[in-house]
Structure 1
Amino acid sequence: MSKLQKLKSQKSRSRASKRLIHIGNAAFILLFVSIALLYLLHRFTAIRVLQLPIIPIVAFLGGGGLVCWLWAEWVEKRGRKLLVSVVLIGFLGMNAIAFLGAYSMTHFRSSEQWSLASPKPINYKRPSDFGLPYETKYIAIARQQRLETWWIPTANAPSRGTILLFPGNRGSKSQVLLPARVLHNLDYDTLLVDFRGTGGSSGNTTTLGVREGEDVAAAFQWVRQQDARRPIALYGVSMGTAAILRAISTQNIAPDAILLELPYSHLLNSVKRRLRFYNIPTFPAAELIVFWGSIQHKINGFAHNPAIYAKQVRCPTLILQGDRDKWIDRAELKQLEDNLPYSHHYISFPNAGHQLLITVNPKLWRQSVQQFLDGID
């Protein structure tokens, strides 16, 4: 081959590789724009983004862009450099998405603010809306923060005992008003608690039950200081159950009974189940989300395992669970049950998912709770 022919061939390959690189760049730009647009639609509109074919779109744009880059580098005989670049870009991209995902899951914003954080849970109803008398009480916690609570005394003194109620993730104390009304009618004093970052309490973050365990302990100690009538029981929903179990394990509180509605056993596995539900590969996405959430809040999310905390429980336990709960694995829940060293009861609600069970079957909920509490009086 003559020198002129070689020169023409090199120029031809150079033009081809440039076009491929441009196409690859355009594919990745379109991919990131699409992800941002889908997130905004999911956050601020009623469009059900998660029902769209997100995985095929990501695979087509990301895979197509990657193929174009690899082909271009092969044409230019610089495949090793491209491989390093692709791995680096992929690594940084996955971590950036995981960081933003963890931030969105654990940070709250006011309705007037715009950010990647979720809207701060508010109290959409008050006890007076249910005909319940109440007082708003504040409990001091660390770093000049406080918890807002509602104290609802029984109408028939003396009460049969005191029950503290804790809501689930992204919920406020108004979430547990229906259970509180039933307990009020059963002649129990109740204290409904907003975790830090939610409702009327200070802060704008959640740690999915880690530091919320300190909130449970603070509320329990406050009730003890008020000479509240015993037995003193703790009731929690979902994340509230994790906070209760962590408080017992790490804060050394000793309630007379606990009621766990929709408990989960391992934070990492819980994140994996949510990703799997939306057809998102769990590895390494779940590990990265928990990792960056841990970094952001200076905690160890990988060690946040309510099933392990359960080993320190020294009181009767009632577990309430929906038999169609897509977020809770029955085998993992069985592990939590097996780790409870004291007597416990398990009640399954037919045709119920991960929702407040009193709204699914009020009669079964009242009967189960009343029978359990009668056994500890």
Structure 2
Amino acid sequence: MKNKKRLLKWFFGILIFLLIIDTSATLYFYKVAAIRNNTPVSQVSKKSNNYKLVQKFNKLNKSTKTLTNDNLKLDAWYVPAESTTNKTVIVVHGFRQDKSNMRQYGELFHELGYNVLMPDNRGAGSSEGEYISYGFYDKEDIIAWANLLTKENNKSKITLFGLSMGAATVMMASDQKNLPDSVTNIIEDCGYSNVWDEITYQAKASYDIPAFPLVYSVSLENRIRQGWFFNEASSTQALANDKLPILLIHGSKDTYVPTSMLNENYNAVKSGTPKEKLLISGAAHAKSFETNPSLYEKTVSNFMTQYNPVN
């Protein structure tokens, strides 16, 4: 009997110890993954092929637009096209970025003749918000921006463009019933297939940590704080119902959002929906445009000409 009690004490002691370790690790990794961090983010290098685009964008006349969605005040830059047009591209940034990181893309679409709206996601830049939602709530913010543009101009024709987390955001928005008809097409660059798979991949690749138990507990922490589990934020699930033409882009050397997710997303687009994909040889994560600017611009321009041509 004494030995049995001793074993039970050891068992529960070890269990409590493991729970304490898991709880501590959960809180640490949740802070890393999902809590706002205003540390300045890296920008396009001055040595980059595309730094000249950033310099050009800096000289453009930009106004600020704001809206309130989900009780959060959100901020965006708006750059009108050189020639008056009803065509606008909403450019959505990635994880731990803000709108300033997207200047090369803003300039790309500006030079193609479009108005450009570049929002700060919730929890980033000048927008309010404590948490990063990996597209789960951001998709509703992007829809709110599209509705704002449509309200301001009922002839608006809008393209959604996103990079990395922003790419997942625009894909997740694709099947939403409240997405306005003014949205005509989507371009995603290096977006993940779903949050669960991306977080699980990052845990293994960056920390050599298996999914169980940590990813499960971090997902539960996210459910407690934000109201959703990681497996509920899925690009592929949305793409299965998407009706809008979509261009999917990825780098062949992407080890942050694995290149395999390009085909997962592409194959998820339902039959009958126009879809194209572009794999940039040698490009690392979010570096496709900088790795092969001419091919990138040509492919994007042709897709836009087909599905949202400038007036």
TM over 0.5: yes
2:48 equivalent in structure 1: none
The reply to whether residue 350 of structure 1 matches residue 281 of structure 2 is yes
Evaluate the alpha carbon distance shift between residue 122 and residue 362 of structure 1 in structure 2; reply closer, same or farther with a 3 A threshold.
closer
The answer to which structure, 1 or 2, has the higher relative contact order (CA under 8 A, 6+ apart) is 2
Give how far 1:244 is off. 1.6
1:223 equivalent in structure 2: 149
Q: How far, CA to CA, are the matches of 1:272 and 1:142 in structure 2? A: 28
Evaluate the alpha carbon distance shift between residue 332 and residue 357 of structure 1 in structure 2; reply closer, same or farther with a 3 A threshold.
closer
- What runs of 5+ residues in structure 1 fail to find an aligned partner? 1-73, 111-118
The reply to whether residue 361 of structure 1 matches residue 292 of structure 2 is yes
1:263 equivalent in structure 2: 191
Q: How far, CA to CA, are the matches of 2:43 and 2:151 in structure 1? A: 26
The reply to whether residue 292 of structure 1 matches residue 217 of structure 2 is no
Q: How far, CA to CA, are the matches of 2:90 and 2:168 in structure 1? A: 14
- What runs of 5+ residues in structure 2 fail to find an aligned partner? 45-50
Q: State the TM-score, normalizing by the size of structure 1.
A: 0.72
Q: How far, CA to CA, are the matches of 1:300 and 1:273 in structure 2? A: 16
Give the superposed CA RMSD.
2.6
- What is the 5 A alignment of 1:93-242? 93-110=21-38, 119=39, 130-143=58-71, 145-155=72-82, 157-159=83-85, 161-227=87-153, 230-242=156-168
Q: State the TM-score, normalizing by the size of structure 2.
A: 0.86
Query: Number of residue pairs matched?
Result: 294
Evaluate the alpha carbon distance shift between residue 208 and residue 228 of structure 1 in structure 2; reply closer, same or farther with a 3 A threshold.
same
Give how far 1:259 is off. 0.3
**Alignment identity in percent?**
19
**Which structure features the higher share of helix residues?**
1
Evaluate the alpha carbon distance shift between residue 330 and residue 109 of structure 1 in structure 2; reply closer, same or farther with a 3 A threshold.
closer
Contact 2:190 2:262 in 1 (8 A): no
AA of the residue aligned to 2:94: G
Pick one of 267, 282, 302 that aligns with 1:338: 267
Deviations 1:283-328 (Å, cap 9, x if unpaired)? 2222222221221212232211111011221111001100111133
Contact 1:245 1:309 in 2 (8 A): yes
Q: How far, CA to CA, are the matches of 1:108 and 1:122 in structure 2? A: 16
Give how far 1:339 is off. 2.1
